[in-house]
Amino acid sequence: MYRKTASSSFSAVMKSLVRENGVFANIRNRTSSFEIIGPTYNTATDQQQRQYSSFPGFLGKFQEMTLDSEKSVTHILFCGPHFPDSHNYTREYLQSHPFIKVDVVPLEDVPDVIGNYDICVVKNMRLNSDIIARANKMKLIMQFGVGVEGVDINAATKHGITVARIPSDATGNAASCAEMAIYLMLGLLRKQHEMLVAVRQKLLGDPTGDTLLGKTIFIMGFGNIGIHLAKRLRPFGVKILATKRSWSSPLQNSCKSNVSYNGSGSQDDLVDEKGTHQDILNFASRADIVVCCLVMNSETAGIIDKVFISSMRKGALLVNIARGGLLDYDAVLHHLESGHLGGLGIDVAWTEPFDPDDAILKFPNVILTPHVAGVTEHSYRYMAKVVGDVALRLRTGESFTGVEIVN
């Protein structure tokens, strides 16, 4: 089992009981559970006064209190070993609260043990209806971040389980992802792989890269990440096109922004041209770089397909820091092979962990990072605090803070 059946707090409970019953017992800690070997007495008088007949009653009382203590523990399940600082920082944050236990369970074992837990942090696990049906103790399923597309929300709702995510803006996750997008852009423009080859070959002044200055950037999905990205791109002297479902101001063509990097003015004014879903092919045809920041759902899965990439300028770059399934794998591979796609920078992939021998990684104009756009000290410690606080509030029956309920 991945639940620890006892803790140092149990030892304290038992010692208190022992003192209360006037018995000094030999206690042995074996595989996280306590075993009582038998009573010992300090004096003959004690031995006469304390009869063995009282010991079974003590054992029963201890067992009852142990069960009560176990019931009072809140158990948090982190699915799988990936993104290790998510559970490491959460454990660290909760280290002074022994009544909350954090377990990390291999993905393949989650279905067998999920019924023992009160809270589940899914990470990259897919929780379908069959797995959720086994979570008979669970009160909350949450993501250590934003995306909950791997959770069957209808099934969770049916079983009375709340589903929540941690908004990216407050945690610094959006800012971190925006910075990663710029890192990938610059890495592609400056030909990161070719530079490494040049260093190994002791070459100077090669390769010849390019700059962001004067480029047209299409931000596809102008949510929190897109807004942070636009703010950071402004000082590079670029033109920004962006699409989202709806805008707070009427759509305008060529609405030049006078917004400075400090973010004065409205967020919409960070964009030179605004559009909706109907404009994505038009904007793609005019952009030097397309950055995908969309939410993953049934409408957006595979949205960057052969038609979309074919509409991009020959030699344009494609960056994805959202979800791997937004890109059609075959379309990307085809356009890399043909040379139409000038470069690919992705922090997320179709299958994670990504196969290091995949054909896409053979191209020198491809940069892949291991889903670390939002993995920063700042954002992870903040999110660990949110998870810890949610667990504490669950125990006291208070409403959750720091999360967005999605069902």
Helices (H) and strands (E) in the chain, counts: 15, 15
The residue among 140, 202, 151, 190 whose CA lies nearest residue 403 is 140
Q: Is 138 left (phi over 0), alpha (psi -120 to 50) or beta?
A: beta
Tell me the per-residue pLDDT of 77-99, one tens digit each, with 9 for 90 and over. Answer: 999 999 999 999 999 999 999 99
- Looking at residue 304, the DSSP 8-state letter turns out to be B
Instruction: Collect all residues with Cβ–Cβ distance below 8 Å to 265 and sequence separation of at least 6.
Output: 257, 258, 259
Instruction: Quick: pLDDT tens for 331-359.
Output: 999 999 999 999 999 999 999 999 999 99
Average pLDDT, the chain: 83
Q: Where are the alpha helices (DSSP H) in 50-109?
A: 55-71, 84-93
Determine the Cα–Cα distance for residues 353 and 363; give it in Å rounded to an integer.
19
Q: Is the distance from CB of 372 to CB of 184 less than 8 angstroms?
A: no
Query: For 107-156, what is each residue's pLDDT tens digit?
Result: 999 999 999 999 999 998 999 999 999 999 999 999 998 888 889 999 99
Express each pLDDT in 283-328 by its tens digit: 999 999 999 999 988 899 999 999 999 999 999 999 999 999 999 9
| Helix 224-233 × helix 173-189 angle, to 10° | 50
| pLDDT score, position 246 | 85
| 13: CB partners within 8 A, 6+ apart | 62, 65, 66, 69
Class of domain 173-368 as given by CATH: alpha beta
How far, in Å, CA of 198 to CA of 206, rounded? 7
Structure tokens at 179: 């910075």
Q: Which two tokens stand for residue 263?
A: 């973010």
Nearest to 308 by CA among 86, 260, 297, 294: 294
- Please tell me whether residue 31 adopts helix, strand or coil conformation: coil
pTM over 0.95: no
pLDDT (tens digit, 9 = 90+) per residue, 183-225? 999 999 999 999 999 999 999 999 999 999 999 999 999 999 9
Tell me: domain 74-170+379-405, CATH 3.40.50.720, correct?
A: yes
